[in-house]
Amino acid sequence: MGLFTSTPLPEPVGDSAPPVDEHPSRIATVLSHLRRSADTRITHPRRFRRQQLKALEKMLEEHLEDFVQALAEDLGKSATEAKFSEIDVVRAEIDFAQRHLVEWMDSTSVKVPLALQPAMAKVEPRPLGVMLIIGAWNYPVQLVLAPLVAAIAAGNAAVIKPSELAPATSGALAKFLPVYLDERVYAVVEGGVDTSTELLAARWDHIFYTGGERVAKIVAAAAAKHLTPTTLELGGKSPAVVENDSLASAKRLAYAKFMNAGQTCVAPDYVLSVGDSSELIRRLGQAITSFYGKEPLTHPDFGRIVSRKHFERLLSMFEQGEVVFGGEYDEDTLRIAPSIMRNVDLEGSLMTEEIFGPILPVIEVETFEEALEFIARRPSPLAAYLMSESPRLQSIFSDRVRAGSIVHNAPLAQMIVPTLPFGGVGPSGMGAYHGKHGFDRLSQMRSELNKTTVVDTLSAIYPPYSWAKRKIIDRLL
């Protein structure tokens, strides 16, 4: 079983007796405490949500260095990258939620049909209850804390389970979060598959999972046992169609692909070059060298592969085509240089599985139409990129391609637009978050109707149904 960091457990609010269980597991005890506290609605008031968001921000501010160090340990992330791609993303989410909380929490008055008037109706976002947030290892801070921001803003309690593959970051979250957030309603549970399995067996009000498709099916099956709604933030092979092979295009592609050593869910997985790819490959190489120098394996701004298993999985991909740039690796530090491949085997793992590493296959297609067909024959990805200044091609691309997001000329930038929903479609995910989309996703949109009995206008539709009443009903409804 996983470790739970906060001992002793805080007293739950409310005065109901703890459930009778001779040998409750640590996780079961934690959950029952959390649920009893959440049932008293302490997470509901706006003031509480604001306090908790502020406390989360304070934790990130005061322990920035601890998180930067943990990310360097887990993934070799540079301090700059750790800050802007993890901490700053969460801080921006907190800031956005703080600024818009009043408006998000507001109920919306809606029209009532004539037949029911006079009456008032409104839709009000209500907290769902207790969330389980399970994160992946590649952005181990952002992927649990950004959903947590949405959970807090929406007035929910939550347990977060960071990935065991980023143990230093998981440890830092478990150490610091309970110091800042209200322990009665927020908790960190550390551990691997056994812990996830035990957590998933419990009843939750929403499960927010980020990770791969295989485990997502396990999560969805576990959730189905309790009819728990889920958000599944998954991955896939996000294509980049290149019509404009300028150096600016190449730099943007290389930046998005090789950040975090290619271990980014929305990184361009492969490139479809419309026409000859020689110039594009040359410029991609130029871009890579300008970012990481001639020895990227030792460059401080270039990260490492998370584990030996993933390292070996990636090395086997080098055999599935011609390596035209990079290809070097270091077995001791688990680093693989930014690499470009062409003439690749379309049936091998390189082109059938998400690469999730610093290898970029470039595939030539003769026409733009061929690129669209190539994408359409494969599962819908999390993102699809087009590098082209042509409004006509951009319009065709957004019309024809099915993906979680469509981005023209700025791969990855969609991640930091808090007004855009972030999520997949089909096998790349279910549901979306960021900004208000996260708030709405973790809220119940509750309907409320209020009609006085002082004037009983409904009597016109009560049985027995005379000819005259039927006429009235026909006219009203």
- Residues lying near ligand NAD in the complex (CB under 6 A): 134-138, 143, 161, 163-165, 192-193, 196-197, 200, 210-212, 215, 218, 233-235, 265, 354, 356, 382, 429
For residue 216, the minimal CB distance to ligand NAD (Å) is: 8
Asked if residues 204 and 176 have their Cβ atoms less than 8 Å apart, the reply is: no
- Helices (DSSP H) in 239-367: which residue ranges? 247-258, 278-292, 308-317, 349-352
For residue 458, the minimal CB distance to ligand NAD (Å) is: 49
Element (H, E) at 132: strand 130-134
- Measured from the CB atom, the residue of 85 and 196 that comes closer to ligand NAD is 196
At a CB cut-off of 8 Å and minimum separation 6, what does 266 contact? 238, 256, 382, 383, 405, 411, 412, 414, 415
For residue 219, the minimal CB distance to ligand NAD (Å) is: 6
Element (H, E) at 342: strand 339-342
By residue count, the chain amounts to 477
- Measured from the CB atom, the residue of 198 and 440 that comes closer to ligand NAD is 198
| Catalytic residue flag (residue 233) | yes
Residue with tokens 């990130």: 60
Burial of 116 (0-12, 13-18, 19+ CB in 10 A): middle
Asked if residues 262 and 240 have their Cβ atoms less than 8 Å apart, the reply is: no
- Measured from the CB atom, the residue of 193 and 376 that comes closer to ligand NAD is 193
At a CB cut-off of 8 Å and minimum separation 6, what does 206 contact? 128, 129, 131, 132, 156, 228, 229, 230, 231, 442
DSSP category for residue 334: T
Closest CA to 105 of 156, 144, 58, 140: 156
For residue 132, the minimal CB distance to ligand NAD (Å) is: 11
Q: How far, CA to CA in Å, does 4 sit from each of 239, 254, 319, 411?
A: 40, 40, 43, 38
Rounded distance between C-alpha atoms, residue 360 and residue 277, angstroms: 13
- Measured from the CB atom, the residue of 135 and 338 that comes closer to ligand NAD is 135
From 57, 93, 183, 233, active-site residue: 233
Closest CA to 337 of 311, 372, 362: 311
Taking residue 469's Cβ as centre, other Cβ atoms within 10 Å add up to 15
- Measured from the CB atom, the residue of 136 and 401 that comes closer to ligand NAD is 136
- Measured from the CB atom, the residue of 388 and 405 that comes closer to ligand NAD is 405
- Measured from the CB atom, the residue of 105 and 305 that comes closer to ligand NAD is 305
Give the angle 373-379-385 at the CA atoms, nearest 5°.
65
For residue 197, the minimal CB distance to ligand NAD (Å) is: 5
- Measured from the CB atom, the residue of 66 and 164 that comes closer to ligand NAD is 164
> Is residue 335 classed as helix, strand or coil in its secondary structure?
strand
Rounded distance between C-alpha atoms, residue 316 and residue 237, angstroms: 18
Nearest residue to ligand NAD on Cβ basis: 235
Rounded distance between C-alpha atoms, residue 98 and residue 58, angstroms: 14
DSSP string, 203-251: --SEEEEES-HHHHHHHHHHHHHTT--EEEE-----EEEES---HHHHH
DSSP category for residue 189: B
Rounded distance between C-alpha atoms, residue 244 and residue 223, angstroms: 45
Identity of the amino acid at 170 = S
For residue 373, the minimal CB distance to ligand NAD (Å) is: 24
- Measured from the CB atom, the residue of 101 and 174 that comes closer to ligand NAD is 174
Active site residues: 233
